[in-house]
C-alpha cells in the first residue's frame, strides 16, 4: 500500500514538472525578452498562453503536498526541517510570481508594468531552481531521517546546483516548445521563428548540461549515478531519444506532436530519477515503507487520489482543448507535414 501511495505521489510530481514547469519556463523567456518595445509581442503571447492555466497547474503542487504530508509525514518533517531555506524561497517565488503576473496585466503605466514584470520573471527562475536543488539534496542523501540537517550545505552542493540548473533549463525548453506551437497556431511566423530558435538553443544547452552532470553525479551522488546507469537506463535512453526527436521536429519546423514529445522527454527523465531513488524517499536512507503512515490513512489517500484524478483530469483536458481551439488549433491541424 505504501508503494501505491508513493506512485500516486510521484504521478503528481511528474504532472507538476510537465505542466507547471512550462509556466515557469515562460517566465524565463519573459525575463530575457528585452525592453518594452522589443519584448511586447513575445510577452503578449506568454500572457495569453499562461492566463487560463497558471493557477490550475499549481493544483498538482497542492496535491503533492497533501499526499506527502498525510502519507509520509516523517519524510516531510525531515525535508522541511532541513531544506526550509530553498522551500521558503520557492514558496516566496510562487507568491511573488502570481502577484507580479496578475498586477502586470492590470497595470496601465509602463514603470509599474516593468516592476511587476520583473517580479514575475525573476520568481519564475528562482522557484524551479530551488525545487531542483531540493531534488538534488534528496537524491544525494543530504537530508537526515531525523531532520534538522545542515541548512546550508544540504542544498548548496554540486548535485543540488546541477538539479537547480537543469530544472531552469528544462522549464525553459518546455515553455519554448509549447510557445512555438502556440505561435504557429496564432499564425504569427515571426513569433514562430522567435520561439523555435530559443527552443532549439534551450534543448541543446539542456543536453550539454545533462552530459556534464554525469561527472557531477559520479563524484557527488554515487548511488544515484549507479542507479541511473543501471536500473533507470532504459528511461534515460528513452528521454534522450525524445529530446533528440523534439529537436528534430524543431529543425524541420514541424509542430505536430512537438508538445507531446517535449513533455515525454521531461516526464521520462523525472521518472528515471524516481526509479533510481526507490525504495528510498531520502536518497540513501528512510525507505518508503519506513516513512509511511498507518494503512488506514494510506487507504484514504488512495481513495482521495482516485477522486482527485476523476475530477481534475477531465477539467484540465477540457481547459486545454478550449485553449487550443481558441488559439487557432485549426491552423495547427492543417499544417503541412
- Is the pLDDT reported for residue 292 higher than 60? yes
Cβ atoms of 131 and 90 within 8 Å: the answer is: yes
pLDDT at 332: 37
- Is the pLDDT reported for residue 143 higher than 90? yes
At 198, the pLDDT band (50, 70, 90 cuts) reads very high
- Is the pLDDT reported for residue 167 higher than 90? yes
Percent helix, percent strand, percent coil in the chain, to nearest 5: 80, 0, 20
**Helix orientation angle between 158-185 and 110-139, rounded to the nearest 10 degrees:** 130
Q: Which three cell numbers stand for residue 312?
A: 481534475
Per-residue pLDDT, averaged over 49-72, amounts to 83
**Distance between CA 230 and CA 236 in Å, rounded?**
10
- Is the pLDDT reported for residue 335 higher than 70? no
At 16, the pLDDT band (50, 70, 90 cuts) reads very high
- Is the pLDDT reported for residue 224 higher than 80? yes
pLDDT at 331: 40
- Give per-residue pLDDT as tens, 86-120: 999 999 999 998 888 888 777 777 778 788 888 98
Query: Is the pTM higher than 0.75?
Result: yes
User: Of the candidates 75, 311, 46, 337, which has an alpha carbon nearest to the alpha carbon of residue 179?
Assistant: 46
Of 78-92, 288-302, 312-326, the one with minimum mean pLDDT is 312-326
**Distance between CA 195 and CA 69 in Å, rounded?**
39
- Is the pLDDT reported for residue 307 higher than 60? yes
Cβ atoms of 67 and 132 within 8 Å: the answer is: no
Cross-strand bridge partners of residue 280: 287
- Is the pLDDT reported for residue 173 higher than 90? yes
Domains of the chain by residue range: 2-333
Q: Please give the biggest Cα pair distance in the chain.
A: 58
Amino acid at each position: 500500500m505504501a508503494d501505491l501511495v508513493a506512485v500516486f505521489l510521484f504521478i503528481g510530481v511528474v504532472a507538476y514538472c510537465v505542466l507547471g514547469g512550462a509556466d515557469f519556463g515562460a517566465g524565463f523567456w519573459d525575463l530575457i525578452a528585452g525592453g518594452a518595445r522589443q519584448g511586447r509581442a513575445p510577452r503578449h503571447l506568454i500572457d495569453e498562453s499562461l492566463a487560463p492555466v497558471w493557477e490550475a497547474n499549481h493544483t498538482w503542487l497542492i496535491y503533492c503536498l497533501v499526499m506527502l504530508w498525510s502519507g509520509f509525514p516523517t519524510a516531510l518533517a525531515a525535508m522541511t526541517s532541513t531544506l526550509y531555506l530553498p522551500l521558503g524561497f520557492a514558496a516566496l517565488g510562487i507568491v511573488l510570481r502570481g502577484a507580479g503576473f496578475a498586477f502586470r496585466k492590470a497595470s496601465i503605466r509602463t514603470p509599474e508594468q516593468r516592476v511587476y514584470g520583473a517580479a514575475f520573471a525573476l520568481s519564475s527562475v528562482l522557484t524551479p531552481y530551488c525545487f531542483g536543488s531540493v531534488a538534488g539534496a534528496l537524491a544525494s542523501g543530504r537530508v537526515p531521517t531525523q531532520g534538522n540537517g545542515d541548512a546550508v550545505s544540504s542544498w548548496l552542493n554540486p548535485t543540488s546546483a546541477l538539479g537547480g540548473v537543469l530544472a531552469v533549463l528544462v522549464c525553459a525548453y518546455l515553455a519554448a516548445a509549447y510557445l512555438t506551437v502556440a505561435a504557429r497556431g496564432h499564425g504569427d511566423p515571426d513569433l514562430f521563428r522567435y520561439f523555435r530558435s530559443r527552443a532549439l538553443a534551450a534543448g541543446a544547452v539542456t543536453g550539454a548540461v545533462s552530459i556534464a552532470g554525469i561527472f557531477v553525479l559520479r563524484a557527488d551522488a554515487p548511488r544515484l549515478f549507479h542507479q541511473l546507469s543501471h536500473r533507470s537506463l532504459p528511461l534515460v535512453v528513452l528521454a534522450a531519444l525524445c529530446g533528440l526527436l523534439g529537436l528534430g521536429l524543431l529543425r524541420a519546423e514541424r509542430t505536430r506532436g512537438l508538445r507531446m514529445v517535449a513533455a515525454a522527454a521531461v516526464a521520462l527523465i523525472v521518472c528515471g530519477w524516481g526509479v533510481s531513488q526507490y525504495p528510498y524517499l531520502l536518497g540513501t536512507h528512510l525507505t518508503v515503507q519506513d516513512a509511511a503512515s498507518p494503512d488506514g490513512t494510506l487507504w484514504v489517500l488512495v481513495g482521495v487520489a482516485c477522486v482527485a484524478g476523476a475530477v481534475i483530469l477531465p477539467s484540465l483536458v477540457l481547459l486545454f482543448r478550449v485553449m487550443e481551439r481558441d488559439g487557432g488549433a485549426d491552423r495547427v491541424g492543417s499544417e503541412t507535414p
